[in-house]
Amino acid sequence: MPFKFSRCICLQTPDAEKATRFYHEVMGLPSVIRTDNQRELTASQNRMFFDTGEPRGPIMEFIVPDLDTAKAELLAAGCTVIRWEGKGGCCYIQDPFGFWFNLWEDPQEFTE
């Protein structure tokens, strides 16, 4: 299963709205999406998302051609599912070393 590192990073915080305002107003990052469930800013070529939850280190994201196959392979390699919303949602995995990352399915990323 191929994995590609995306340009998206998620930060968890108890107050995602307040964090979004800080990075937008103080740090000057342009706001791209702001809904009840999602807050996204751009930082050069990267995208920064805020998720409500206990603060953790940055949650990296990997793009995969097939979400379910990637999940099965990662579980077999000792990873743990933290949160699984399926295609189009948060799919947080914890690796055997304690780091979290998100999986995002986009088969078109692998057709080039």
* CB-CB contact of 50 with 14 (8 Å): no
- pLDDT tens track for 30-69: 877 777 767 888 877 888 888 888 888 899 999 999 999 9
Q: What is the mean pLDDT of residues 101-110?
A: 94
Find, among 48, 41, 91, the residue nearest to 68 by Cα: 91
Using the Cα atoms of residue 71, residue 65, residue 89 and residue 6 in order, give the sign of their dihedral.
positive
45: phi then psi, degrees, rounded to nearest 5? -90, 0
Edge-to-edge strand ranges of the sheet holding 80-84: 31-34, 39-43, 46-52, 4-13, 59-64, 100-105, 91-94, 80-84
Does the domain spanning 4-110 belong to CATH 3.40.50.2300?
A: no
Claim: this prediction has a pTM higher than 0.85: no
- pLDDT tens track for 75-93: 999 999 999 999 999 999 9
* CB-CB contact of 41 with 34 (8 Å): no
